[in-house]
Amino acid sequence: MAVGIFDSGLGGLTVLEGAAKHLPDQAFVYYGDHANTPYGVRAADDIYQLTKAATERLWDAGCDLVILACNTASAVALRRMQEEGLPKGKRVLGVFVPLIEALTERQWGDNSPPREVDVKHVALFATPATVASRAFQRELAFRAIGVDVEAQPCGGLVDAIEDGDEMLAQALVRSHVEALQRRMPKPQAAILGCTHYPLLKDTFQGALGEGVKVFSQADVVADSLADYLKRHPDMLGTGQENLFLTSGDAKRVSDKATQFLKREITFQ
């Protein structure tokens, strides 16, 4: 039984890389909806329908547990999917809660009332759809009080990363950080709310300054997944052969993924 990891494009590969290091005996199936990427500029209902279809594709591939490594899908579609009901024995998890756990130093499943935390000023960098959903602020409010969140929609950044245009991507990061700092000059922490952004963590850190703690999903989500599987051993599988699926052109996606991770990746 494999664990499914879904993203609209290549960004979720950063989550898969982190998870594979933590769980070397667990098989993964990665599905990228490259025919419809990016999700960050789509309408909410469109995102929901695409995410639901992608999740079902991973269930068909033998995955009982699916991680929505796409922040936009997690923000816009996850709650609706859970409210409408999942098939028996199937689980879908998002990538926001592990970040909030790390930020607030609070365990997932801790249902005690929200409390004061040390970090009071948080910068959130994400896609326009993720920012518009306010899902991060909603989930944070369940766990912490007195935290000011300033969100910056990072239009164009995912496309630049997927196109391999490093110079443009770095310039966009600096521009988005400057725009946020005009509204919040001194954030204490920054959330990289897109799985593409860990590839530019050093650029974000440099633009924000060394005094800002930058939270990146690749390692945070991997830690959380390992803990979840420890607590839910029925979801564990075996095998080290990972499968990479795409709704797009497999050759083109494979070439871009190889460039993205700097190791050979073959999509079907």
- Annotated active-site residue 154? The verdict is no
For residue 65, the cross-strand partners are 3, 91
What interhelical angle do 201-208 and 166-183 show, nearest 10? 40
Q: What is the DSSP letter of 198?
A: G
| Nearby residues of 62 by Cβ (< 8 Å), 6 or more positions away | 1, 2, 29
3-state SS track over 15-69: HHHHHHHHCCCCCEEEEECCCCCCCCCCCHHHHHHHHHHHHHHHHHCCEEEEEEC
Burial (CB count within 10 angstroms: exposed 0-12, middle 13-18, buried 19+), residue 24: exposed
**Residue from 194, 220, 253, 265 carrying the catalytic annotation:** 194
Tokens 């871009």 sit on residue: 256
How far is C-alpha 172 from the geometric centre of its chain's CA atoms? 19
- Distance between CA atoms of residues 188 and 192, nearest Å: 14
What's the CA gap between 187 and 190, in Å, rounded?
Answer: 7
Spot the catalytic one: 70, 99, 151, 218: 70
Rounded to a whole number of angstroms, the distance between the first and last alpha carbons of the chain is 19
**Euclidean distance between CA atoms 129 and 225, whole angstroms:** 25
Q: How many CB atoms lie within 10 A of CB 67?
A: 30
Q: Which of 180, 113, 109, 121 is nearest to 141 (CA)?
A: 113
Active site residues: 70, 194
